[in-house]
């Protein structure tokens, strides 16, 4: 994440070490930290702890609701820690209700659309990173591809619904796979274009001198080198497809096509909400995403800013 390691930074600083607490000096040197006035240090950590509480308590609260019996859910004062845990809501959501089916739909759509976007997008990214086309076409195409991602989803949701309805694809998983492929494609192209640009082209040229074809060099030399980037890009696509709500809401309204977010939302907005089952479904929707997201932390900044900020 950090561009330079702190130790390198500090080497230069030693002679200039400030004598008073200097809010914008930046080093994680322990000895240096000790020099800070105690109250300042205390305040810093206090603010961080409060921020963490505000960040994590709501999620924790939802998790407890999913494990609480109904008497405990409605208890006053709220029971944060002590309650009898139960798995009844998970059983209710995934056995009695259709959340198992929604979960499968979500997985299926996310994986299929990610594979499609990766295959199509990686090829384009390689071409845009390596070949110079006449009239700067390569740059213009790359920018155009990026600009398609800037469309608000609601702008394309209306016509896409009408188009999908006309070709009888509404309420199918296929419609979502198609839409999510398009949604992820610009992202794949930009991320992978950056990763390809970091591979020295001498490597491919050496392979080609040895008799490999252009695409052979791509397949055997370049692709293995960008594998970590490819994996990170795949995880980002999975997260986007898994989390997406608007298109899923518009395009899938039946149990055999609906994704998990739409299923959950359907329960939230009805009367007589089963809070436990809903929380259980939400926890299940959340856990794989958190695991995935943690695995791509290194690429998070780059992914979220489409390569505009290098983390």
30 vs 254, beta carbon nearer other proteins: 30
Residues in the chain: 311
Which phi-psi region, left, alpha or beta, contains residue 49 (left: φ > 0; alpha: ψ -120 to 50)?
alpha
How far is 131 from 201, CA to CA, in rounded Å? 11
The yes or no reply on residue 309 touching other proteins (CB under 8 A) is yes
The yes or no reply on residue 219 touching other proteins (CB under 8 A) is no
Quick one: DSSP state of residue 218?
A: I
Region 6-35 residues binding other proteins, contact defined as CB under 8 A: 9, 12-13, 16, 18, 22-30, 32-33
How far is 162 from 157, CA to CA, in rounded Å? 9
Question: What are φ and ψ of residue 310, in 5° steps?
Answer: -85, 120
Which tokens go with 78? 């709220």
CB of 74 to other proteins, least distance (A): 4
CB 68 within 8 A of CB 87: no
The yes or no reply on residue 69 touching other proteins (CB under 8 A) is no
CB of 33 to other proteins, least distance (A): 5
The yes or no reply on residue 189 touching other proteins (CB under 8 A) is yes
CB 99 within 8 A of CB 285: no
CB of 191 to other proteins, least distance (A): 11
Question: What are φ and ψ of residue 98, in 5° steps?
Answer: -90, 15
The single residue among 52, 95, 203, 227 that binds other proteins, judged by CB under 8 A, is 52
CB 247 within 8 A of CB 153: yes
The single residue among 37, 87, 91, 162 that binds other proteins, judged by CB under 8 A, is 162
How far is 196 from 297, CA to CA, in rounded Å? 20
The single residue among 100, 225, 249, 274 that binds other proteins, judged by CB under 8 A, is 249
The yes or no reply on residue 275 touching other proteins (CB under 8 A) is yes
Distance between start and end Cα atoms, the chain: 5
The yes or no reply on residue 307 touching other proteins (CB under 8 A) is yes
The single residue among 132, 168, 271, 272 that binds other proteins, judged by CB under 8 A, is 132
Q: Of 89-97, 167-175, 228-236, 258-266, which part binds other proteins (CB under 8 A)?
A: 258-266
The single residue among 194, 217, 222, 252 that binds other proteins, judged by CB under 8 A, is 194
Region 100-119 residues binding other proteins, contact defined as CB under 8 A: none
Which tokens go with 255? 């149990």
CB of 8 to other proteins, least distance (A): 9
The single residue among 87, 91, 227, 290 that binds other proteins, judged by CB under 8 A, is 290
The yes or no reply on residue 82 touching other proteins (CB under 8 A) is no
Helices 99-130, 227-243: crossing angle, 10 deg rounding: 140
CB of 256 to other proteins, least distance (A): 19
96 vs 213, beta carbon nearer other proteins: 213
Which tokens go with 192? 């992978």
The yes or no reply on residue 71 touching other proteins (CB under 8 A) is no
How far is 6 from 231, CA to CA, in rounded Å? 28
């Amino acid at each position: 994440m950090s561009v330079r390691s702190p130790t390198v930074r500090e080497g230069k600083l030693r002679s200039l070490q400030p004598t008073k607490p200097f809010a914008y000096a930046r080093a994680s040197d322990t000895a240096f930290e000790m020099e800070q006035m105690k109250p300042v240090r205390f305040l810093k950590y206090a603010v961080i702890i409060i921020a963490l509480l505000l960040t994590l308590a709501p999620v924790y609260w939802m998790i407890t609701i999913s494990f609480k019996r109904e008497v405990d859910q409605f208890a006053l004062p709220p029971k944060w820690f002590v309650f009898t845990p139960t798995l009844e809501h998970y059983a209710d959501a995934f056995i009695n209700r259709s959340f198992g089916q929604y979960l499968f739909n979500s997985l299926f759509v996310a994986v299929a659309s990610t594979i499609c976007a990766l295959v199509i997008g990686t090829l384009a990214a390689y071409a845009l990173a390596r070949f110079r086309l006449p009239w700067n076409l390569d740059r213009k195409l790359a920018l155009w591809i990026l600009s398609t991602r800037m469309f608000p989803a609601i702008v394309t949701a209306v016509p896409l619904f009408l188009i999908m309805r006309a070709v009888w694809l509404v309420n199918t998983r296929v419609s979502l796979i198609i839409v999510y492929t398009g949604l992820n494609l610009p992202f794949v192209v930009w991320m992978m274009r950056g990763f390809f640009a970091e591979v020295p082209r001498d490597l491919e040229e050496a392979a080609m001198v040895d008799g490999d074809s252009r695409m052979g060099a791509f397949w055997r030399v370049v692709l293995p080198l960008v594998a970590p980037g490819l994996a990170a890009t795949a995880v980002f696509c999975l997260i986007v497809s898994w989390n997406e709500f608007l298109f899923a809401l518009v395009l899938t309204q039946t149990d055999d096509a609906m994704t998990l977010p739409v299923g959950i939302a359907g329960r939230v907005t009805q009367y007589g909400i089963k809070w436990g089952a809903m929380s259980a479904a939400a926890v299940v929707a959340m856990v794989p995403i958190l695991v995935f997201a943690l695995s791509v932390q290194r690429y998070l900044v780059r992914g979220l800013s489409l390569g505009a900020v290098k983390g």
